[in-house]
Structure 1
Amino acid sequence: MEEDEVKGKFLELNELKTFLRITKEQGLYLDYLCFATLAYTGMRLGEMLALKWTELDLTKKTIRITKTYYNPNNKSTCYQLLTPKTKKSIRTIMIDDGLVALFKAHKSEQMELKMKQRLVYENQDFIFAENIGHPRVMKQVVLRLQRLMKHLDVDKHITPHSFRHTHTSLLIEAGAGVKEIQERLGHSDINTTMNIYAHMTKNIEEKTSHKFSELTKGLL
């Protein structure tokens, strides 16, 4: 179950900032956009890889999530786009100006790539397309994450799904309520959101208590 995975690791805000800086400086094609999107939207990896440009509205700053990418064998040409398991997973989420700017820059870069690769490029409108048009496979995302995490000085087991929990943690710190988080993450069951919320809130409370202890050290 998704809430059980919260007991694993996720990135704190300062760790996320450092990771994204490292990714921007040392990452390969698609790396920065990929992990920034996961962190800033909280969407599932399969939902992100299934995204097409028609589902991104850069004017309204929205992403429409309607499908999930399925490719258990990680073969670039052998994939399926499936409807999500629940109706709640089909949703529209807002994105911020920073992510909009990244998508605009990527769109221009992708158009140039299509021109260079026009003899072999299979244009299927995927946002996260490799250099001949097929969507990036999940294994590639995992491998790139593992490579980049080696440069981050944290003892945590971070997976692509960790960014979903990272996003949830940041939403809570920003003051978002349980219902808002449920809608953004596409949870069909409010109990799933509540369980994750409880885990994350406990983590935030512990950090707050530690900060207070540090601030007031020596006063008593």
Structure 2
Amino acid sequence: MASIREKNGSWEYIISAGKDPVTKKYNKITKSGFRTKTAAKEEARRIEEELKQGTYVKESKMTFGDFVKQWIAHYEKRAKVSSVRARSIASKRLLDEWEHYPISSITHLMYQQRIDELSTQFSRNYIDSIHSTGRMIFNHAEKLVLIKHNPTKHFEKPRMITDEVTEKVKEVKNFFDSVELTEFLLLAKNKGLRGDLVIFATLAYSGLRIGELLALKKSDINFKTNEISVTKTYYNSRNNKKEFTLLTPKTKGSIRVVEIDPFVIGLIKGHIKQLKEEKLKNRKIYHDEGFLFVDVEGYPMPIKMIAVRLQRLMKIMNMGKDEEKRKHITPHSFRHTNISLLIEANIPIGEIQRRAGHTDINTTMNIYTHMTQQTKDKSASLFSSHLSSLTAKLQ
């Protein structure tokens, strides 16, 4: 039974929690600061009942900041380095608020208010990332029996705030149509730097993600069947060419074989021949691991280098054009270009899903809810033709 006593003008309880099986010492649970003896008794009675039922949790005094460090160390042994980096960045939004708070003191209301506040500053996707990270952190704390109540449970996602009235902005598509792609690849051929044509043509004709492209080795190309095997992706958060990592692809569906046009296979063959000459010329410094798209020392090109080369060509292509007619293209835009051209070619959606490496077909469908204008016009014409007899009867 609990012992209740007065101490320094307030009341406290002392409860015997039995012998610790490891230290063999008797544990005591104490808490002071109660204004009345009755309040101390009621709290002590509740704790004793929890001990009896086996549901008592001695909440940790560890700070949220210290626990997040421990959790990240635990998480990085179980996740890809890119995922660890994303979780670390997201957790900083919670650390900004609670770094020095005891983790056990963070309530559901505090958590809900923090996410609601952040939702007025950041995109829906980023808010989802922050909440997913917060849930993982507190779930781990709950698993280790460091907290009694998990503040992320019963969380309600906030409605994202957008301006009710926005100025209408003309849509600038972030991908090429077939005419624009021809213009761009001719530009890469005639004014591009070393490797520009083969890099951007491979991206456009294959639909590979930029990380998948940079991870390609000669052994991934089947020159007899004109196929590319996608089994890995390049990751380099610091853009240091010597500090890259090869990771498993984004999803299970991303591991795939993509048929490629003989034209691109020809470009790759010519590129490999050039690499052999460079390797011989720079043999003293050449770092050969068999990668296809490398700098003159044999290291895979950082993604930032590809982006800079692309912007150089886009600056030439956009020269003299009005702002609303200028294309804003990134390396990922070639993936969008590939899918849009597959749609225009009437390739079945299931085949597009396979080539793109989408595990969920809804991902493929959602990317191009707005198809190219040429496909829209064709769809409208085909639909009108199909229903022409019905339309005639109704007129």
TM over 0.5, yes or no?
yes
Corresponding residue number in structure 1 for 2:347: 176
| Cα pair distance change 1:73/1:133, threshold 3 Å | same
Q: Does residue 274 of structure 2 align to residue 133 of structure 1?
A: no
Corresponding residue number in structure 2 for 1:59: 224
Q: Which amino acid aligns with 1:51?
A: L
Aligned residues: 206
Corresponding residue number in structure 2 for 1:148: 313
Over the matched positions of the two proteins, sequence identity in percent amounts to 48
Q: Does residue 166 of structure 2 align to residue 166 of structure 1?
A: no
Structure 1 residue 85, shift from structure 2 partner:
2.8
- Give the number of the structure whose alpha-carbon radius of gyration is greater: 2
TM-score of the two chains, using structure 2 as the length reference: 0.50
- 1:178–1:197: 8 Å Cα contact kept in structure 2? no
Q: Does residue 199 of structure 2 align to residue 34 of structure 1?
A: yes
2:270 to 105, 117, 132: 105
Distance in structure 2 (CA, Å) of the matches to 1:10 and 1:129: 25
1:187 to 354, 358, 361: 358
Structure 1 residue 206, shift from structure 2 partner:
4.7
- 2:232–2:255: 8 Å Cα contact kept in structure 1? yes
- 1:74–1:139: 8 Å Cα contact kept in structure 2? yes
Distance in structure 1 (CA, Å) of the matches to 2:172 and 2:366: 11
* Unmatched tracts of structure 1, length 5 or more: 211-220
**CA displacement 1:170-199 (0-9 Å, x = unmatched):** 111111011000000001111011112422
| Cα pair distance change 1:203/1:197, threshold 3 Å | farther
- 1:126–1:135: 8 Å Cα contact kept in structure 2? yes
**CA displacement 1:34-76 (0-9 Å, x = unmatched):** 1001100001000000001111111111100000100011100
* Unmatched tracts of structure 2, length 5 or more: 1-124, 126-170, 319-324, 382-395
Distance in structure 2 (CA, Å) of the matches to 1:7 and 1:72: 29
Distance in structure 1 (CA, Å) of the matches to 2:351 and 2:340: 13
| Cα pair distance change 1:189/1:7, threshold 3 Å | farther
Q: Does residue 256 of structure 2 align to residue 117 of structure 1?
A: no
Q: Which amino acid aligns with 1:155?
A: R
Q: Which amino acid aligns with 2:348?
A: G
**CA displacement 1:70-98 (0-9 Å, x = unmatched):** 00111000010000131100000111110
Q: Which amino acid aligns with 2:376?
A: E
TM-score of the two chains, using structure 1 as the length reference: 0.88
Corresponding residue number in structure 1 for 2:151: none
Distance in structure 1 (CA, Å) of the matches to 2:271 and 2:374: 35
| Cα pair distance change 1:107/1:174, threshold 3 Å | same
| Cα pair distance change 1:209/1:144, threshold 3 Å | farther
Greater relative contact order, per chain length (Cα 8 Å cut-off, separation 6+): 1
- 2:239–2:302: 8 Å Cα contact kept in structure 1? yes
- 2:218–2:291: 8 Å Cα contact kept in structure 1? yes
Distance in structure 1 (CA, Å) of the matches to 2:379 and 2:317: 24
Q: Which amino acid aligns with 1:166?
A: T
Q: Does residue 180 of structure 2 align to residue 19 of structure 1?
A: no
**CA displacement 1:109-156 (0-9 Å, x = unmatched):** 110111001111011100001111100100000001100001213412
- 1:45–1:160: 8 Å Cα contact kept in structure 2? yes
- 2:172–2:327: 8 Å Cα contact kept in structure 1? no
Q: Does residue 325 of structure 2 align to residue 157 of structure 1?
A: no
Match of 2:340, SS state, is: helix
Match of 1:92, SS state, is: strand
Match of 1:198, SS state, is: coil
Q: Which amino acid aligns with 1:182?
A: Q
- 1:49–1:136: 8 Å Cα contact kept in structure 2? yes
Q: Which amino acid aligns with 2:209?
A: R
Q: What is the root-mean-square deviation in Å for CA atoms of aligned residues? A: 2.0
| Cα pair distance change 1:206/1:150, threshold 3 Å | farther
